[in-house]
Structure 1
């Protein structure tokens, strides 16, 4: 009986395979324009002259555009044939009648043509609907005049567009036959090798019809290899819930590959923050789910054949065992196969914990606690007995060039967290315990408990070496209670609260009073920065469900979640007011009721600014060239660092700088020989469709990629289907990207990738074009970029985020958590350097209040105003905006080693008598380079007010000269007390020195 059943199944399998024979599939070399004809065609051969030919195409399409236009082209003349008729069109096949106008020969049938609409870098492909182009006379005679046209192959415009083999669908009849052959099974498992990533979730690939469902998987592996394979899960009878994958040892005599060397990427791993990750995997009936299995083959394992099993199970379903047979070779892989990423050897990076330990990063110093006082670089945090800040101080000099012994208080009194009952009376929270739980050089953590008869407050908090402070504040009702408010007051020192940005305000002078309410659906706002140049505080209000939103064009598609605590159904808000020398920042949540045992999380974060003193010499000697070019040409400009953007020969694909890594290393080696440093574009906001790991990442659901409406460029629609957000597109390379989800294991991969590029390719840092990851990943990246004395230079560009699509956030406020690890800012597209105030320049563009310096971008910036903050534009951005003339002035003056004293410093030795015309001094010895810029409404003049004693210059011997600077100013000399004219929006570079 059993033998007869096996024989029946065997015969059935032969029947299925016989009826699923494959056509020839080929990848073209871009012989035709996919953007006009589509990316796919059938090549047919007509053997004899006739009035009509019929081609039956088993195209097995994964797309659903069965109503798409059919374009037939004569292979001899390359002309379109208009007498065409389509019949019996389905996803499986179609009959195409056409007039073979050149007689016997080759003809091309294009079946997915589209038109590209929208912006060139954010296009949408719209598939053309079928039109009637044939004459009625020709159509009437099809039946009598047609001959068979032989389909010789199906061809894609190039390799990346090919559907073969994993996107060539099985026919419904084949799937039915397969299911009948396994009628006793609840679900099927298709073991699949790593070189054929599973890409479809709604269809079985024809490949599986040909190979059949298997109960074994065989592979050849190497000692020390990161080996991966897949298990394709296909439920036949019902949805599968809570799929688990368990491995046992693979054995060869006394040797084995242990079970703990295996894992399933889809069900378990290590999260971006280093914590264990468990995922629930469910698969609906008729859907396909790829389970990617990782194998860390021991490096010392003897060669031989190792066997074992992997067991798949699901809730209330029978187990399914797949036998594994690994033939281990003799040659050990010393790099774990990382140099061959097309073999999915880097999937193990997704579970990396590299650089997670919070080790101190230069220039920061270890934290030092003395009682309840914690010292860090240039700052101090003092903790109250209730766990909240009692004092916050900075020690940076007004010039931001060093650290003094005299503190500047950021807050005037302890932070006050208060709970008031329905009558407005404060709950008398009594602090019971304050203890320090964590004390390492990088982190000091503490906990505290306070309670009243009605409420308990449990605090867990920590500070890190860069000035980041995180509070988790759990408010629990000890009995049912009605409350009029739960609020937190931050009483800031007015002298440390002159400027503000955030909460729907552009950077500038802080208003005397201000009220703000939550609007998370349209506003990426949950806090602000308030401060001065050498002292400030950034704060953000959150709860335990906080998730980092998307940014840079995509905020509205994944906005902030309203904190249940602070937001309180939009009753909460922030109120700022002045009283004497105090600025009170009151963060309130409004009236509410709480049930006994109910808890709310009033979490918040702080960033104590500045992060470090200015490194002005780095600004003067480090000169960026932001374009791919020959290293010799770049060196000739005087630049010292080249940023290699994507869409370049050595870094072609957005945020995936691994494919041309050999060419990249050759370029970097040559640049290093020329004394140049090289940084590459690589961020996480989106990922190229050329990434080898795209299919495995998609198998993780929404962990790596954000959900969305799909669409975008044709490749995305044809190979991803739906449920994604289309991102940046490079027309020249047809490089199409999709938006990442935010915080995910892709950050682990990113850190490992940065480490590999630093150690193996020799990059000197990275260029960030906006940031889609948090400070944890930024710290990890900085650690791997700077290890072993690598320079690890990071510069950040941002387009102005203060707009509708970005939720009206301020770029500097949005990215402030990353500032401790940056070397330079480049803010950026859509920043208006002409119409904005000096306070906007200072707070949102310059980086100076945070210990950074920057450059300008939009329209070349304003060179006169920029120099007041030590900024130029960046090479090469046109002759009129060329930075080299200013670099020349720097060098001739000898600006390296000078002391920068900005107009914002009270004792600036050189001022003007016009409040709309500002001056910054670069003092070196007995000479000073004075940068003057005008914000006057029209042409104006000014007088220099010079503190000769502070400069150490004898006024009787002084000379005041403006050097000739191309496209900036003509050479001029001035006398003491002379009125100096300045054109609207411009300024001067003036050198004051003693005559020899």
Structure 2
């Protein structure tokens, strides 16, 4: 054992500060270790027992605050933990410790990032607090308290390996950092303003603010050689270091690639994703990339190799140019083998070929989806599926017909009020500017002596109209108000949702100021209505977590804007107003809004009752035997383990779709945007795009995120998958090219995994994206399905917030966050059922006392087999639903808070009686026997037995029926 005394103080100081920096290897052991020890450890070799052991090595860390983490040292042979650890020096580069006693020689494991695993979901556990201070007697014995030069009786040991718990956790090689001294020496040798390192896609550049040791040990790149296959989209990186100053507007300029025979891959086939792209509307854009001195900017580059490319060695140049630095040229050689990738490389995520999906325009076209007909225009009248709109000379609807019913009491008015009067403009100059099957556009110009109004409008195949009104002042003018007003016939203005109101009956008069999270309203009834959404802000999708719709400045107008309802005997007018403003000559303000006509499509009750959902890949025998046929596979299971990145467990996903297709089921998966798994292969490429795709933030969350991403991210959903595997999501930014990738991913899943559609659990995109999704699915599988779930705690009214999605989805599953026991029937109808909008909903009422009354609206719980049995026994798929909300219902009650909906078929009728009373109540039913086709003297009325729901009872016509508080009763009326 080496004994160190004060006589060799100077020598010891020199020795102790020279950390071990050679002969350390980075490995992943064949057998992992328990998760609670953390994801990283050093392996220490100790030659003989000692009361105190000294180590001093470069651990080259990139994570934050290493001094705040607990340290544990245990014997590899026995698992015995060393009781005393004295920290001599700790920073990101170097670790120096004295620890002991160690009773056996051999290997010891030094765990320096232990944490408490959370084995469930939502939020991760925490790093452990630092270890207790070593025993005072042990510290004094080895003179550790004051000065390193006074160590006594300390054995020197070496660190031979730094290990990661899994390859996914490993820092090697791209996160093994160079020391400050090594970086200084490196920069001293390389004096160019910026330095370039070329890397294959298998070594994604990970650290934006540190240099990997891998780069220090070699020279900057003057050339790069890649190896690709025919029909491959080949990706690689150039890492650019702003070595000696800030670098402004760095961009690569490519040449053609040519081989010795003159074969060419043109420069048009080469893309830098950091500097050019295509947005979600299909429009190309460029980005300026600036690099702060000392930072690293990866440039991800893709080469589109055609299937017919001649094999061989192709050469070309990449010139990196900047506004304030001398350009540099990298020689590029691409070796193309005589072998063809059938799928461009998309089936193997490590190839990063899917990066081209970021610039996809798939699904962007002007054609209707399959469920809608092409638009027709005759003069100023536009015909869509089930709807028609007559436009006036101002470009606004003068008439709106929905299934031949005219819903407007007067033309829609874009009103400008000055001096307490609405300005009357002369007729506008109106013209239709574009006619396509899926969209028709028009413009109008209106003016007087003081104002010019220019209207640009369009109508899409599903009956959605979009407007942009530009108001320009010719002279200085004081405007009292600018508003959009919808005068509705009173019979088509029964219900109102939005603008500060939860769904229900329309009040006679109402006024509200906009909330920050409100940008739309719907007014109507079940056979006709409209939604108006005020647009022009940065985001107009549903409210969700950090995604918040906001009225644009023109409408909000410094809180002067608002919403109002005004009624008389014949008309209900819904108006969004912006309030007073002063305008100077030449000043203009843009007002944008969209109008969606409802119902968006005809209600398909047969599908509502025959497409039966089960939310698990493991349906019970009872579910299978009673008509279950649609499986939703969430994330966090063997088939779809990682949230919103369903591309890793390909074999498992394909296997389960084949298994259940053979049994007649459809298989849908959870896949959306909003947050992305940390197992995302392209995570480092997306990080190189700044906050375009991945949102910034304060970091934190699951330990992997803190150890690898370190900073500038927002942690989201966490799931422990077992066996030490964790799925930890991070937040997406707002609308970005990831949406293009997402749509291509959906196309790939339908084609290659044979899925039948999607289960969407809240969404953070708008109708343009879901319209593309529907079109893309229809290319391969026209009967693909989408169902949408929403938590109203996020959306503050799921129906209205998500209404623009409804033309392109099949079903909703709303209700989470509602307290159904407090909500009246009109709320259920407008906020849950989907009936006014032409779309079915399934019951999700876990906050209800008894989970009943769904059949008043054609709903039941997913997987509730007893109700499915009743449906089949009755034959509900062939019945016609006649709701209590109709103007002339076929069944009525004598109680204002008890409703009855009938399902009518020849010879028998199913009646769902639902109570919104707070106590048990009796009710009498009045049936329209003529419409039902039944003779009251010749019928049986039975409440059939339904397991876990109701017991069997029989009634005579006219007999009172007792209904439990907030309960219901299902009756079958049939011929004897």
Q: CA deviation at 1:688?
A: 0.4
Instruction: Report the counterpart of residue 869 of structure 1 in structure 2.
Output: 857
Instruction: Report the counterpart of residue 674 of structure 1 in structure 2.
Output: 663
Q: CA deviation at 1:425?
A: 4.5
**Against the structure 1 CA distance between its residues 316 and 255, is the aligned structure 2 distance closer, same or farther, given a 3 Å change threshold?**
same
Q: CA deviation at 1:817?
A: 0.8
Instruction: Report the counterpart of residue 661 of structure 1 in structure 2.
Output: 650
Q: CA deviation at 1:356?
A: 0.9
CA deviation profile, 1:658-679 (whole Å, cap 9, x unmatched) = 1011111111111111111111
Instruction: Report the counterpart of residue 956 of structure 1 in structure 2.
Output: 937
CA deviation profile, 1:799-858 (whole Å, cap 9, x unmatched) = 123xxxx3x631111111111111111113222222211111111111111111111223
Q: 2 CA distance for matches of 1:639 and 1:456?
A: 60
Instruction: Report the counterpart of residue 7 of structure 2 in structure 1.
Output: none
- Matches of residues 524-543 of structure 1 in structure 2 within 5 Å? 524-543=517-536
Instruction: Report the counterpart of residue 700 of structure 2 in structure 1.
Output: 711
Q: CA deviation at 1:719?
A: 1.4
Contact 2:541 2:765 in 1 (8 A): no
Q: 2 CA distance for matches of 1:959 and 1:633?
A: 30
Given the alignment of the two structures, is residue 158 of structure 1 paired with residue 166 of structure 2, yes or no?
yes
Given the alignment of the two structures, is residue 635 of structure 1 paired with residue 624 of structure 2, yes or no?
yes
Given the alignment of the two structures, is residue 308 of structure 1 paired with residue 316 of structure 2, yes or no?
yes
CA deviation profile, 1:594-614 (whole Å, cap 9, x unmatched) = 233222111011111101111
Contact 2:121 2:717 in 1 (8 A): no
- Matches of residues 451-850 of structure 1 in structure 2 within 5 Å? 451-520=447-516, 524-543=517-536, 545-548=537-540, 551-555=543-547, 559-629=548-618, 635-732=624-721, 733-801=725-793, 806=794, 809-850=796-837
**Against the structure 1 CA distance between its residues 654 and 788, is the aligned structure 2 distance closer, same or farther, given a 3 Å change threshold?**
closer
SS at match of 1:306: strand
Q: CA deviation at 1:478?
A: 2.2
RMSD: 2.0
Q: 2 CA distance for matches of 1:715 and 1:834?
A: 43
Q: CA deviation at 1:126?
A: 4.8
Instruction: Report the counterpart of residue 870 of structure 2 in structure 1.
Output: 889
Contact 1:42 1:57 in 2 (8 A): no
SS at match of 1:904: coil
Contact 2:751 2:780 in 1 (8 A): no
Q: 2 CA distance for matches of 1:860 and 1:963?
A: 26
SS at match of 1:619: helix
Given the alignment of the two structures, is residue 292 of structure 1 paired with residue 300 of structure 2, yes or no?
yes
Give the paired residue count.
945
Q: 2 CA distance for matches of 1:534 and 1:286?
A: 64
Q: 2 CA distance for matches of 1:886 and 1:761?
A: 32
Instruction: Report the counterpart of residue 358 of structure 2 in structure 1.
Output: 350
Q: 2 CA distance for matches of 1:888 and 1:633?
A: 10
Q: TM-score, normalised by structure 1?
A: 0.92
**Against the structure 1 CA distance between its residues 532 and 208, is the aligned structure 2 distance closer, same or farther, given a 3 Å change threshold?**
same
Q: 1 CA distance for matches of 2:160 and 2:140?
A: 25
Q: TM-score, normalised by structure 2?
A: 0.94
Given the alignment of the two structures, is residue 225 of structure 1 paired with residue 232 of structure 2, yes or no?
yes
Q: CA deviation at 1:245?
A: 1.6
**Against the structure 1 CA distance between its residues 113 and 433, is the aligned structure 2 distance closer, same or farther, given a 3 Å change threshold?**
same
Instruction: Report the counterpart of residue 195 of structure 2 in structure 1.
Output: 188
Instruction: Report the counterpart of residue 950 of structure 2 in structure 1.
Output: 969
Contact 2:23 2:160 in 1 (8 A): no
CA deviation profile, 1:487-546 (whole Å, cap 9, x unmatched) = 2222122211111111121111122222221342xxx10121111111111111123x43
Instruction: Report the counterpart of residue 419 of structure 1 in structure 2.
Output: 416
5+ residue gaps, structure 2, are 1-18, 145-150
Q: CA deviation at 1:223?
A: 1.2
Q: 2 CA distance for matches of 1:426 and 1:533?
A: 33
Instruction: Report the counterpart of residue 898 of structure 1 in structure 2.
Output: 879
Given the alignment of the two structures, is residue 366 of structure 1 paired with residue 374 of structure 2, yes or no?
yes
Q: CA deviation at 1:793?
A: 0.8
Q: CA deviation at 1:347?
A: 0.6
Instruction: Report the counterpart of residue 204 of structure 1 in structure 2.
Output: 211
**Against the structure 1 CA distance between its residues 873 and 100, is the aligned structure 2 distance closer, same or farther, given a 3 Å change threshold?**
same
Q: 2 CA distance for matches of 1:30 and 1:481?
A: 78
Q: 1 CA distance for matches of 2:935 and 2:582?
A: 72
SS at match of 2:481: strand
Q: 2 CA distance for matches of 1:915 and 1:269?
A: 59
Instruction: Report the counterpart of residue 107 of structure 1 in structure 2.
Output: 108
Instruction: Report the counterpart of residue 12 of structure 2 in structure 1.
Output: none
Instruction: Report the counterpart of residue 56 of structure 1 in structure 2.
Output: 56
Q: CA deviation at 1:864?
A: 3.4
Instruction: Report the counterpart of residue 240 of structure 1 in structure 2.
Output: 247
**Against the structure 1 CA distance between its residues 52 and 82, is the aligned structure 2 distance closer, same or farther, given a 3 Å change threshold?**
same
Q: CA deviation at 1:149?
A: 1.8
Contact 1:860 1:873 in 2 (8 A): no
**Against the structure 1 CA distance between its residues 549 and 638, is the aligned structure 2 distance closer, same or farther, given a 3 Å change threshold?**
closer
Q: CA deviation at 1:187?
A: 0.7
Contact 2:60 2:94 in 1 (8 A): yes
**Against the structure 1 CA distance between its residues 977 and 771, is the aligned structure 2 distance closer, same or farther, given a 3 Å change threshold?**
same
**Against the structure 1 CA distance between its residues 200 and 591, is the aligned structure 2 distance closer, same or farther, given a 3 Å change threshold?**
same
Instruction: Report the counterpart of residue 133 of structure 1 in structure 2.
Output: 134
CA deviation profile, 1:268-323 (whole Å, cap 9, x unmatched) = 11111111122221111111111110110122111111111111111122111111
Q: 1 CA distance for matches of 2:89 and 2:913?
A: 76
Instruction: Report the counterpart of residue 988 of structure 1 in structure 2.
Output: 969
Q: 2 CA distance for matches of 1:495 and 1:567?
A: 30
Instruction: Report the counterpart of residue 10 of structure 2 in structure 1.
Output: none
Q: 1 CA distance for matches of 2:782 and 2:448?
A: 54
Instruction: Report the counterpart of residue 896 of structure 2 in structure 1.
Output: 915
**Against the structure 1 CA distance between its residues 233 and 988, is the aligned structure 2 distance closer, same or farther, given a 3 Å change threshold?**
same
Q: 1 CA distance for matches of 2:109 and 2:434?
A: 70
SS at match of 2:846: helix
Q: 1 CA distance for matches of 2:926 and 2:718?
A: 53
Q: Which moved more, 1:981-990 or 1:677-686?
A: 981-990
SS at match of 1:123: coil
**Against the structure 1 CA distance between its residues 432 and 851, is the aligned structure 2 distance closer, same or farther, given a 3 Å change threshold?**
closer
Given the alignment of the two structures, is residue 446 of structure 1 paired with residue 442 of structure 2, yes or no?
yes
Given the alignment of the two structures, is residue 215 of structure 1 paired with residue 207 of structure 2, yes or no?
no
**Against the structure 1 CA distance between its residues 703 and 567, is the aligned structure 2 distance closer, same or farther, given a 3 Å change threshold?**
same
Instruction: Report the counterpart of residue 12 of structure 1 in structure 2.
Output: none
Q: CA deviation at 1:740?
A: 1.1
**Against the structure 1 CA distance between its residues 784 and 560, is the aligned structure 2 distance closer, same or farther, given a 3 Å change threshold?**
closer
Q: Which moved more, 1:885-894 or 1:118-127?
A: 118-127
CA deviation profile, 1:543-569 (whole Å, cap 9, x unmatched) = 3x43346743334xxx44552211111
CA deviation profile, 1:752-787 (whole Å, cap 9, x unmatched) = 111111111110111000011111111111122233
Q: Which moved more, 1:725-734 or 1:130-139?
A: 130-139
Q: Which moved more, 1:928-937 or 1:625-634?
A: 625-634
**Against the structure 1 CA distance between its residues 177 and 274, is the aligned structure 2 distance closer, same or farther, given a 3 Å change threshold?**
same
CA deviation profile, 1:566-585 (whole Å, cap 9, x unmatched) = 11111111121212221122
**Against the structure 1 CA distance between its residues 500 and 993, is the aligned structure 2 distance closer, same or farther, given a 3 Å change threshold?**
same
SS at match of 1:892: helix
SS at match of 1:196: coil
Q: 1 CA distance for matches of 2:907 and 2:587?
A: 68
Q: CA deviation at 1:641?
A: 0.9
Contact 2:84 2:101 in 1 (8 A): no
